[in-house]
Structure 1
Amino acid sequence: MAQRIGRPDRHHMSPRGLAAALVATALTTTGCQGMAMTHDQPQPTSAAPQQGPLTEFPLRFLRHNFGIATYAVQEYTVIYANRPYSGGPRPAREDVHPNSFNAVDAGHISIRNFPAPAIVRWKARDGTPLETEVDIGEIFKDELVLYDAPRGEISDRTPAINPDIVMEINDRTINVYMRAHLSLKAPRIPGNRYSNFRADLVQAWSKTY
Protein backbone atom coordinates (compact mmCIF):
# COMPACT_ATOMS: atom_id res chain seq x y z
CA MET A 1 0.00 0.00 0.00
CA ALA A 2 1.36 3.42 -0.92
CA GLN A 3 2.14 5.80 1.98
CA ARG A 4 1.22 9.51 2.00
CA ILE A 5 4.25 11.70 1.54
CA GLY A 6 5.25 13.74 4.60
CA ARG A 7 3.01 11.88 7.09
CA PRO A 8 4.23 8.88 9.13
CA ASP A 9 2.49 5.53 8.58
CA ARG A 10 1.24 4.69 12.06
CA HIS A 11 0.59 1.03 11.08
CA HIS A 12 4.24 0.29 10.15
CA MET A 13 6.14 2.31 12.81
CA SER A 14 7.36 1.03 16.16
CA PRO A 15 5.75 2.54 19.29
CA ARG A 16 8.97 4.46 20.08
CA GLY A 17 9.19 5.86 16.55
CA LEU A 18 5.51 6.81 16.55
CA ALA A 19 5.90 8.72 19.84
CA ALA A 20 8.93 10.62 18.53
CA ALA A 21 7.07 11.61 15.38
CA LEU A 22 4.07 12.90 17.34
CA VAL A 23 6.30 14.99 19.64
CA ALA A 24 8.09 16.51 16.66
CA THR A 25 4.77 17.40 15.03
CA ALA A 26 3.49 19.05 18.24
CA LEU A 27 6.65 21.13 18.66
CA THR A 28 6.50 22.31 15.07
CA THR A 29 2.86 23.39 15.42
CA THR A 30 3.50 25.21 18.70
CA GLY A 31 6.45 27.06 17.21
CA CYS A 32 4.38 28.29 14.28
CA GLN A 33 1.65 29.57 16.59
CA GLY A 34 4.20 31.40 18.72
CA MET A 35 5.63 33.08 15.63
CA ALA A 36 2.18 34.13 14.48
CA MET A 37 1.39 35.69 17.86
CA THR A 38 4.68 37.57 17.81
CA HIS A 39 3.85 39.21 14.50
CA ASP A 40 0.21 40.00 15.31
CA GLN A 41 0.58 41.47 18.82
CA PRO A 42 2.00 44.98 19.37
CA GLN A 43 5.34 45.30 21.08
CA PRO A 44 5.08 46.22 24.78
CA THR A 45 6.00 49.78 25.69
CA SER A 46 8.00 50.90 28.68
CA ALA A 47 5.96 52.03 31.68
CA ALA A 48 8.84 54.07 33.09
CA PRO A 49 7.90 57.73 33.84
CA GLN A 50 9.18 60.39 31.49
CA GLN A 51 12.07 62.34 32.93
CA GLY A 52 13.00 65.91 32.18
CA PRO A 53 11.60 69.41 32.77
CA LEU A 54 7.89 70.01 33.18
CA THR A 55 8.26 73.80 33.15
CA GLU A 56 8.50 75.88 30.01
CA PHE A 57 9.94 79.37 30.17
CA PRO A 58 8.82 82.08 30.02
CA LEU A 59 6.15 81.09 32.53
CA ARG A 60 2.60 81.80 31.36
CA PHE A 61 -0.84 81.47 32.92
CA LEU A 62 -4.35 80.83 31.59
CA ARG A 63 -6.23 81.25 34.87
CA HIS A 64 -5.69 83.41 37.91
CA ASN A 65 -6.96 84.08 41.42
CA PHE A 66 -8.13 87.51 42.58
CA GLY A 67 -8.20 89.42 45.83
CA ILE A 68 -8.17 92.99 47.13
CA ALA A 69 -6.48 94.97 49.91
CA THR A 70 -7.75 98.36 51.07
CA TYR A 71 -6.06 101.10 53.10
CA ALA A 72 -6.91 104.70 54.02
CA VAL A 73 -10.39 104.67 52.51
CA GLN A 74 -13.78 105.47 54.00
CA GLU A 75 -15.63 102.88 51.92
CA TYR A 76 -15.18 100.87 48.74
CA THR A 77 -16.93 98.61 46.25
CA VAL A 78 -15.17 96.47 43.63
CA ILE A 79 -16.85 94.22 41.06
CA TYR A 80 -14.65 91.76 39.16
CA ALA A 81 -15.55 88.51 37.41
CA ASN A 82 -19.17 88.92 38.57
CA ARG A 83 -18.15 89.00 42.24
CA PRO A 84 -18.63 92.08 44.44
CA TYR A 85 -16.28 93.19 47.22
CA SER A 86 -17.22 95.98 49.61
CA GLY A 87 -16.37 97.39 53.00
CA GLY A 88 -16.29 100.38 55.31
CA PRO A 89 -13.50 102.54 56.75
CA ARG A 90 -9.99 101.12 56.56
CA PRO A 91 -6.82 102.28 58.36
CA ALA A 92 -3.72 103.50 56.57
CA ARG A 93 -1.24 100.86 55.50
CA GLU A 94 1.44 102.21 57.83
CA ASP A 95 -0.94 101.73 60.76
CA VAL A 96 -1.34 97.97 60.34
CA HIS A 97 1.08 95.08 60.82
CA PRO A 98 3.96 95.19 58.30
CA ASN A 99 3.24 91.63 57.16
CA SER A 100 -0.51 92.08 56.69
CA PHE A 101 -0.25 93.12 53.05
CA ASN A 102 1.94 90.14 52.11
CA ALA A 103 -0.69 87.86 53.63
CA VAL A 104 -3.56 89.22 51.52
CA ASP A 105 -5.71 86.34 50.33
CA ALA A 106 -6.82 85.94 46.70
CA GLY A 107 -9.99 84.06 47.57
CA HIS A 108 -11.70 84.13 44.17
CA ILE A 109 -9.83 81.28 42.48
CA SER A 110 -9.37 79.86 38.98
CA ILE A 111 -10.73 82.80 36.96
CA ARG A 112 -10.32 82.27 33.21
CA ASN A 113 -8.25 84.99 31.52
CA PHE A 114 -9.76 87.58 31.28
CA PRO A 115 -13.12 88.98 32.48
CA ALA A 116 -14.31 92.52 31.80
CA PRO A 117 -12.43 95.33 33.59
CA ALA A 118 -12.94 95.66 37.33
CA ILE A 119 -15.34 98.42 38.37
CA VAL A 120 -14.00 100.30 41.38
CA ARG A 121 -15.90 102.88 43.46
CA TRP A 122 -14.49 104.25 46.70
CA LYS A 123 -14.09 107.27 48.96
CA ALA A 124 -10.55 108.40 49.61
CA ARG A 125 -9.19 109.26 53.04
CA ASP A 126 -10.56 112.83 52.80
CA GLY A 127 -14.00 111.61 51.69
CA THR A 128 -13.61 112.37 47.97
CA PRO A 129 -15.76 109.93 45.94
CA LEU A 130 -13.83 108.25 43.13
CA GLU A 131 -14.74 105.77 40.40
CA THR A 132 -12.74 104.00 37.71
CA GLU A 133 -12.30 100.79 35.73
CA VAL A 134 -9.14 98.70 36.02
CA ASP A 135 -8.52 96.48 33.00
CA ILE A 136 -6.75 93.43 34.42
CA GLY A 137 -6.68 91.84 30.96
CA GLU A 138 -4.80 94.83 29.54
CA ILE A 139 -2.29 94.89 32.39
CA PHE A 140 -1.46 91.19 31.89
CA LYS A 141 -2.27 90.91 28.18
CA ASP A 142 0.88 88.87 27.46
CA GLU A 143 -0.19 86.32 30.13
CA LEU A 144 3.34 86.19 31.53
CA VAL A 145 3.90 85.25 35.18
CA LEU A 146 5.76 87.94 37.13
CA TYR A 147 8.27 86.91 39.80
CA ASP A 148 11.39 88.14 41.57
CA ALA A 149 13.19 84.80 41.94
CA PRO A 150 16.31 84.37 39.77
CA ARG A 151 15.64 82.06 36.83
CA GLY A 152 18.47 79.75 37.87
CA GLU A 153 16.86 79.10 41.27
CA ILE A 154 13.45 78.03 39.93
CA SER A 155 12.88 74.29 39.68
CA ASP A 156 12.36 73.06 36.14
CA ARG A 157 9.61 70.83 37.52
CA THR A 158 7.45 73.65 38.86
CA PRO A 159 3.78 72.69 38.33
CA ALA A 160 1.31 74.76 36.32
CA ILE A 161 0.67 78.13 37.94
CA ASN A 162 -2.56 80.01 38.63
CA PRO A 163 -1.06 83.21 40.09
CA ASP A 164 -2.76 85.55 42.53
CA ILE A 165 -3.67 89.01 41.22
CA VAL A 166 -4.10 91.44 44.10
CA MET A 167 -5.64 94.91 43.75
CA GLU A 168 -4.66 97.41 46.43
CA ILE A 169 -6.77 100.54 46.97
CA ASN A 170 -4.72 102.95 49.06
CA ASP A 171 -6.30 106.40 49.52
CA ARG A 172 -6.29 107.79 45.96
CA THR A 173 -3.96 105.18 44.47
CA ILE A 174 -4.73 101.77 42.99
CA ASN A 175 -1.90 99.25 42.67
CA VAL A 176 -2.08 95.84 41.01
CA TYR A 177 0.28 93.03 42.00
CA MET A 178 0.94 89.44 41.02
CA ARG A 179 2.02 86.65 43.34
CA ALA A 180 3.10 83.27 41.93
CA HIS A 181 4.03 80.23 44.01
CA LEU A 182 7.31 78.96 42.53
CA SER A 183 9.15 75.76 43.48
CA LEU A 184 12.89 76.19 43.96
CA LYS A 185 15.76 73.84 43.25
CA ALA A 186 17.02 74.19 46.82
CA PRO A 187 15.61 75.57 50.11
CA ARG A 188 16.16 79.28 50.72
CA ILE A 189 17.07 78.40 54.30
CA PRO A 190 19.59 75.52 54.40
CA GLY A 191 18.16 72.56 56.27
CA ASN A 192 14.58 73.90 56.17
CA ARG A 193 12.73 71.84 53.57
CA TYR A 194 9.66 74.08 53.93
CA SER A 195 11.55 77.04 52.44
CA ASN A 196 11.87 75.56 48.95
CA PHE A 197 9.53 78.08 47.30
CA ARG A 198 9.05 81.78 46.52
CA ALA A 199 5.75 83.65 46.56
CA ASP A 200 6.62 87.34 46.20
CA LEU A 201 4.14 90.13 45.47
CA VAL A 202 5.38 91.86 42.32
CA GLN A 203 3.89 95.20 41.34
CA ALA A 204 2.57 95.28 37.77
CA TRP A 205 0.62 98.56 37.58
CA SER A 206 -0.18 101.72 39.54
CA LYS A 207 -2.28 104.86 39.09
CA THR A 208 -3.20 107.76 41.36
CA TYR A 209 -6.58 109.49 40.95
Structure 2
Amino acid sequence: MIYLTGDIHSNLGVDRLTRFFENKRITKEDFVIILGDVGVCWDGGKKDTLLKQTLHELPLTTLFIDGNHENFELLNDYPVSYWNGGQVHEIEPDIIHLMRGQVFEIEKKTFFTMGGVASTDKMYRTEGISWRAEELPSEEEYEQGLKALNRNGNKVDYILTHTAPYEVISAMEMEIFEEEDVLRQYLQTISDETEFKHWYFGHFHEDLDIEEIYHCLMDRVISLR
Protein backbone atom coordinates (compact mmCIF):
# COMPACT_ATOMS: atom_id res chain seq x y z
CA MET A 1 0.00 0.00 0.00
CA ILE A 2 1.16 3.55 -0.75
CA TYR A 3 0.04 6.53 1.34
CA LEU A 4 0.56 10.25 0.70
CA THR A 5 0.56 13.22 3.06
CA GLY A 6 1.69 16.84 3.25
CA ASP A 7 4.44 18.73 5.08
CA ILE A 8 5.41 17.59 8.56
CA HIS A 9 8.06 20.26 9.36
CA SER A 10 10.26 17.97 11.40
CA ASN A 11 8.77 16.95 14.75
CA LEU A 12 5.95 19.52 14.54
CA GLY A 13 3.69 17.36 12.37
CA VAL A 14 5.04 13.84 12.58
CA ASP A 15 2.57 12.89 15.33
CA ARG A 16 -0.24 12.71 12.80
CA LEU A 17 1.61 9.89 11.04
CA THR A 18 2.11 8.05 14.31
CA ARG A 19 -1.60 8.36 15.10
CA PHE A 20 -2.77 7.46 11.60
CA PHE A 21 -0.68 4.32 11.23
CA GLU A 22 -1.22 3.05 14.75
CA ASN A 23 -2.75 -0.43 14.61
CA LYS A 24 -2.78 -0.44 10.79
CA ARG A 25 -2.10 -3.84 9.24
CA ILE A 26 0.95 -2.73 7.27
CA THR A 27 4.65 -3.58 7.10
CA LYS A 28 7.91 -2.01 5.99
CA GLU A 29 6.97 -3.20 2.48
CA ASP A 30 4.30 -0.45 2.50
CA PHE A 31 5.11 3.24 1.96
CA VAL A 32 4.15 6.72 3.03
CA ILE A 33 5.34 9.56 0.77
CA ILE A 34 5.70 13.01 2.36
CA LEU A 35 5.36 15.88 -0.14
CA GLY A 36 8.18 18.09 1.10
CA ASP A 37 9.19 20.16 4.15
CA VAL A 38 10.13 17.05 6.06
CA GLY A 39 13.14 18.35 7.99
CA VAL A 40 14.73 14.98 8.57
CA CYS A 41 18.03 16.70 7.71
CA TRP A 42 17.86 20.05 9.48
CA ASP A 43 20.43 20.71 12.18
CA GLY A 44 22.45 17.49 12.29
CA GLY A 45 21.70 17.18 15.98
CA LYS A 46 19.15 15.88 18.47
CA LYS A 47 16.20 17.25 16.48
CA ASP A 48 17.16 15.15 13.45
CA THR A 49 17.88 12.10 15.58
CA LEU A 50 14.44 12.29 17.22
CA LEU A 51 12.63 12.59 13.88
CA LYS A 52 14.59 9.72 12.34
CA GLN A 53 13.75 7.55 15.33
CA THR A 54 10.05 8.44 15.10
CA LEU A 55 9.96 7.66 11.37
CA HIS A 56 11.92 4.46 11.92
CA GLU A 57 9.30 3.34 14.45
CA LEU A 58 6.48 3.77 11.93
CA PRO A 59 5.27 0.36 10.68
CA LEU A 60 6.09 1.24 7.04
CA THR A 61 8.85 2.84 4.94
CA THR A 62 9.00 6.63 4.64
CA LEU A 63 9.71 8.20 1.24
CA PHE A 64 9.86 11.95 0.73
CA ILE A 65 10.50 14.70 -1.76
CA ASP A 66 12.19 17.87 -0.55
CA GLY A 67 10.49 21.18 0.06
CA ASN A 68 12.09 24.52 0.82
CA HIS A 69 12.53 23.99 4.56
CA GLU A 70 15.34 21.46 4.34
CA ASN A 71 19.08 21.56 5.06
CA PHE A 72 20.36 20.78 1.57
CA GLU A 73 24.00 20.62 2.66
CA LEU A 74 23.19 17.75 5.02
CA LEU A 75 20.77 16.13 2.58
CA ASN A 76 23.25 16.21 -0.29
CA ASP A 77 26.02 14.76 1.87
CA TYR A 78 24.33 11.38 1.52
CA PRO A 79 25.62 9.36 -1.44
CA VAL A 80 23.35 9.10 -4.46
CA SER A 81 22.06 5.60 -5.15
CA TYR A 82 19.42 4.08 -7.40
CA TRP A 83 16.15 2.72 -6.12
CA ASN A 84 13.14 1.56 -8.14
CA GLY A 85 14.34 3.32 -11.27
CA GLY A 86 15.42 6.71 -9.95
CA GLN A 87 18.08 8.50 -7.92
CA VAL A 88 17.68 8.68 -4.15
CA HIS A 89 19.44 9.61 -0.94
CA GLU A 90 19.07 6.76 1.54
CA ILE A 91 18.89 8.50 4.91
CA GLU A 92 18.12 5.17 6.59
CA PRO A 93 17.08 1.88 4.96
CA ASP A 94 13.46 2.85 5.69
CA ILE A 95 13.79 6.65 5.17
CA ILE A 96 14.49 7.55 1.54
CA HIS A 97 14.68 10.91 -0.25
CA LEU A 98 13.24 10.76 -3.78
CA MET A 99 15.43 13.19 -5.70
CA ARG A 100 14.30 15.81 -8.19
CA GLY A 101 13.56 15.05 -11.81
CA GLN A 102 13.17 11.28 -11.41
CA VAL A 103 10.66 8.62 -12.41
CA PHE A 104 10.14 5.77 -9.95
CA GLU A 105 8.14 2.58 -10.18
CA ILE A 106 6.60 1.63 -6.85
CA GLU A 107 4.08 -1.18 -6.55
CA LYS A 108 3.66 -1.19 -10.35
CA LYS A 109 2.77 2.53 -10.34
CA THR A 110 4.98 5.22 -11.87
CA PHE A 111 5.78 8.50 -10.11
CA PHE A 112 7.52 11.64 -11.34
CA THR A 113 9.15 13.69 -8.57
CA MET A 114 10.22 17.33 -8.44
CA GLY A 115 10.79 18.89 -5.02
CA GLY A 116 11.63 22.47 -4.16
CA VAL A 117 10.10 25.93 -4.13
CA ALA A 118 11.15 29.43 -3.05
CA SER A 119 10.72 30.46 0.59
CA THR A 120 8.42 33.46 0.70
CA ASP A 121 9.69 34.33 4.19
CA LYS A 122 13.41 34.17 3.43
CA MET A 123 13.85 37.83 4.34
CA TYR A 124 13.32 36.70 7.93
CA ARG A 125 15.72 33.77 7.62
CA THR A 126 19.51 33.43 7.59
CA GLU A 127 21.21 32.03 4.50
CA GLY A 128 23.07 28.84 5.26
CA ILE A 129 21.21 28.34 8.54
CA SER A 130 17.46 28.59 7.97
CA TRP A 131 17.40 29.29 4.22
CA ARG A 132 19.37 27.90 1.29
CA ALA A 133 19.51 28.78 -2.40
CA GLU A 134 19.27 25.07 -3.28
CA GLU A 135 15.60 25.19 -2.30
CA LEU A 136 14.89 25.93 -5.98
CA PRO A 137 15.75 23.30 -8.62
CA SER A 138 18.81 23.84 -10.78
CA GLU A 139 18.84 23.91 -14.57
CA GLU A 140 20.40 20.46 -14.48
CA GLU A 141 17.52 19.13 -12.38
CA TYR A 142 14.95 20.70 -14.69
CA GLU A 143 16.62 19.10 -17.69
CA GLN A 144 16.98 15.77 -15.92
CA GLY A 145 13.24 15.79 -15.22
CA LEU A 146 12.30 16.41 -18.83
CA LYS A 147 14.63 13.64 -20.00
CA ALA A 148 13.22 11.20 -17.44
CA LEU A 149 9.67 11.90 -18.57
CA ASN A 150 10.69 11.62 -22.20
CA ARG A 151 12.26 8.20 -21.57
CA ASN A 152 8.94 7.18 -20.05
CA GLY A 153 6.99 8.35 -23.09
CA ASN A 154 5.80 11.50 -21.24
CA LYS A 155 3.41 9.31 -19.30
CA VAL A 156 3.30 8.47 -15.59
CA ASP A 157 0.60 7.48 -13.16
CA TYR A 158 1.28 10.19 -10.58
CA ILE A 159 3.21 13.44 -10.28
CA LEU A 160 4.57 14.44 -6.87
CA THR A 161 5.81 17.98 -6.26
CA HIS A 162 6.12 20.42 -3.38
CA THR A 163 4.49 23.33 -5.21
CA ALA A 164 2.05 23.25 -8.13
CA PRO A 165 1.78 24.31 -11.79
CA TYR A 166 1.11 27.94 -12.62
CA GLU A 167 -2.55 27.50 -13.56
CA VAL A 168 -3.29 25.47 -10.42
CA ILE A 169 -1.80 28.20 -8.24
CA SER A 170 -3.98 30.73 -10.06
CA ALA A 171 -7.08 28.56 -9.52
CA MET A 172 -6.24 28.44 -5.81
CA GLU A 173 -6.02 32.25 -5.87
CA MET A 174 -2.54 32.08 -4.39
CA GLU A 175 0.03 34.78 -4.99
CA ILE A 176 2.74 33.82 -7.48
CA PHE A 177 6.11 35.19 -6.46
CA GLU A 178 8.59 36.21 -9.13
CA GLU A 179 11.32 33.91 -7.81
CA GLU A 180 9.00 30.92 -8.19
CA ASP A 181 7.86 31.74 -11.71
CA VAL A 182 10.43 29.56 -13.52
CA LEU A 183 9.58 26.49 -11.42
CA ARG A 184 5.83 26.92 -11.71
CA GLN A 185 5.98 27.56 -15.46
CA TYR A 186 8.15 24.44 -15.74
CA LEU A 187 5.53 22.45 -13.84
CA GLN A 188 2.84 23.94 -16.06
CA THR A 189 4.69 22.68 -19.13
CA ILE A 190 4.85 19.22 -17.58
CA SER A 191 1.14 19.40 -16.77
CA ASP A 192 0.36 20.34 -20.37
CA GLU A 193 2.62 17.80 -22.03
CA THR A 194 2.49 14.75 -19.73
CA GLU A 195 -0.23 12.15 -19.44
CA PHE A 196 -0.96 11.40 -15.79
CA LYS A 197 -3.81 10.34 -13.51
CA HIS A 198 -3.33 12.59 -10.49
CA TRP A 199 -0.94 15.29 -9.26
CA TYR A 200 -0.21 15.64 -5.53
CA PHE A 201 1.59 18.54 -3.83
CA GLY A 202 2.08 20.09 -0.38
CA HIS A 203 3.53 23.49 0.60
CA PHE A 204 0.31 25.49 0.99
CA HIS A 205 -0.82 24.02 4.31
CA GLU A 206 -4.26 23.24 2.93
CA ASP A 207 -6.24 20.14 2.07
CA LEU A 208 -7.81 20.96 -1.26
CA ASP A 209 -8.76 19.24 -4.54
CA ILE A 210 -8.67 21.18 -7.81
CA GLU A 211 -10.49 19.85 -10.89
CA GLU A 212 -10.43 16.33 -9.37
CA ILE A 213 -6.90 15.86 -10.70
CA TYR A 214 -4.69 18.15 -8.60
CA HIS A 215 -4.58 17.55 -4.86
CA CYS A 216 -3.03 19.77 -2.20
CA LEU A 217 -2.28 17.78 0.95
CA MET A 218 -1.49 18.93 4.44
CA ASP A 219 -3.18 17.01 7.27
CA ARG A 220 -4.81 14.40 5.06
CA VAL A 221 -3.21 10.99 4.73
CA ILE A 222 -4.61 9.30 1.63
CA SER A 223 -4.02 5.87 0.13
CA LEU A 224 -3.42 4.97 -3.51
CA ARG A 225 -5.23 1.79 -4.43
TM-score between the two structures when normalised by the length of structure 2: 0.24
